[in-house]
């Protein structure tokens, strides 16, 4: 656990401002691009299950910047660097800086929180942090614990999250790494947020929370609980096949990302976007990673 537990709120500077009046700008929807589970290595040729993760991450990033509406920020929901190397985080920072966009990173079970803090600076968020964007409250939650693959939030972070949500009636999105509810893959569901019910309870009690957005599952996922959607996204590298009892790679699906459009009236629109084909695919379907 990092030492800092304070909740800080900042405004994200809009990326589109020319010629707008204040009211027009306020009404303009905001776009976030979620890129998740890049699993980078120090070695630029490093592979996860036969996929060269830096190459696929760069391909997804480039595709997203061309094909999605101009983004206000990028959100990276964990498993950033697979070998927990300094060079891996330096590469990530270099690639993200090059976009000129604000970006926000939370850790996954394959990350080093101290290295994230050291090398990603203020973009490394957590344990609970909030940012404002176009009348929305973006909440970033570290759902990891050192040495555990599965997620656990624990009482302290749950209390901070409750405060972060309750303090702001604006529509909210919560980002975290592990999935808070089962996705119907038995092996993966053992690695979900252990106290996900507590998290869902917070969303139930605060209807301004419109979505919980996670990484970790390496597949598209959507489920609605009352007014709150639980959303998962494909990895920028290897995909896991949905609804499997045991670890199974999806050799057909290509890398992708999730686009989130936030409207001033609290409506959230979202879609998963995949690359137009991608030549490198995992060659095996089982095992582990």
Where does this chain bind Fe ion (CB under 5 A)? 37, 79
Q: Residue 158 is encoded by which pair of tokens?
A: 């749950």
Question: Which of 7/42 has CB closer to Fe ion?
Answer: 42
Question: Which of 131/179 has CB closer to Fe ion?
Answer: 179
CB of 209 to Fe ion, least distance (A): 24
CB of 218 to Fe ion, least distance (A): 6
CB of 64 to Fe ion, least distance (A): 18
CB of 117 to Fe ion, least distance (A): 20
Question: Which of 76/165 has CB closer to Fe ion?
Answer: 76
Report the half-sphere exposure of 223 (CA within 13 A, side-chain side).
Answer: 12
Question: Which of 37/142 has CB closer to Fe ion?
Answer: 37
Q: Residue 166 is encoded by which pair of tokens?
A: 């309750």
For residues 259 and 73, the answer to whether their CB atoms sit within 8 Å is no
CB of 288 to Fe ion, least distance (A): 12
Place of tokens 């490093």: 46
For residues 146 and 182, the answer to whether their CB atoms sit within 8 Å is no
Judged on CB neighbours under 10 Å (0-12, 13-18, 19+), 15 is: middle
* DSSP conformation class of 123: G
For residues 74 and 273, the answer to whether their CB atoms sit within 8 Å is no
Q: How far apart are CA 233 and CA 96, in angstroms?
A: 19
CA angle 278, 282, 285 (to 5 degrees): 135
Question: Which of 55/210 has CB closer to Fe ion?
Answer: 55
Question: Which of 37/259 has CB closer to Fe ion?
Answer: 37
**172-176 and 136-141 beta bridge pairing:** parallel
Instruction: Write the CB contacts of 163 (distance below 8 Å, at least 6 apart in sequence).
Output: 7
CB of 191 to Fe ion, least distance (A): 10
Question: Which of 37/253 has CB closer to Fe ion?
Answer: 37
How far, in whole angstroms, is CA 95 from its chain's centroid?
A: 17
CB of 238 to Fe ion, least distance (A): 8
């Amino acid at each position: 656990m990092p030492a800092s537990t304070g909740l800080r709120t900042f405004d994200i500077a809009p990326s589109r401002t020319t010629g707008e009046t204040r009211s027009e700008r306020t009404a303009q929807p905001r776009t976030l691009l979620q890129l998740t589970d890049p699993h980078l290595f120090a070695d630029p040729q490093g592979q996860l299950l036969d996929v060269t993760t830096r190459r696929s991450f760069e391909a997804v990033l480039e595709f997203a910047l061309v094909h999605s509406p101009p983004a206000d920020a990028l959100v990276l929901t964990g498993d950033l660097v697979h070998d927990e190397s300094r060079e891996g985080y330096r590469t990530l920072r270099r690639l993200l800086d090059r976009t000129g966009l604000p970006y926000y990173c939370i850790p996954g079970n394959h990350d080093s929180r101290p290295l994230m803090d050291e090398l990603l600076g203020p973009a490394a968020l957590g344990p609970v942090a909030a940012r404002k964007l176009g009348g929305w409250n973006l909440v970033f939650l570290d759902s990891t614990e050192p040495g555990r693959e599965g997620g656990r939030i624990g009482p302290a972070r749950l209390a901070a999250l409750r405060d972060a949500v309750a303090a702001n009636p604006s529509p909210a999105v919560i980002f975290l790494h592990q999935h808070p509810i089962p996705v119907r893959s038995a092996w993966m569901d053992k690695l979900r947020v252990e106290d996900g019910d507590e998290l869902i309870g917070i969303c139930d009690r605060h209807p301004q929370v419109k979505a919980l957005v996670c990484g970790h599952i390496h597949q598209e996922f959507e489920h609605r609980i009352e007014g709150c959607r639980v959303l998962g996204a494909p990895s920028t590298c290897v995909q896991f096949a949905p609804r499997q009892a045991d670890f199974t790679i999806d050799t057909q699906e290509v890398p992708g990302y999730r686009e989130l459009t936030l409207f001033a009236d609290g409506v959230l629109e979202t879609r998963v976007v995949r690359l137009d084909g991608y030549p490198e695919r995992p060659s095996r379907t089982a095992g582990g990673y």
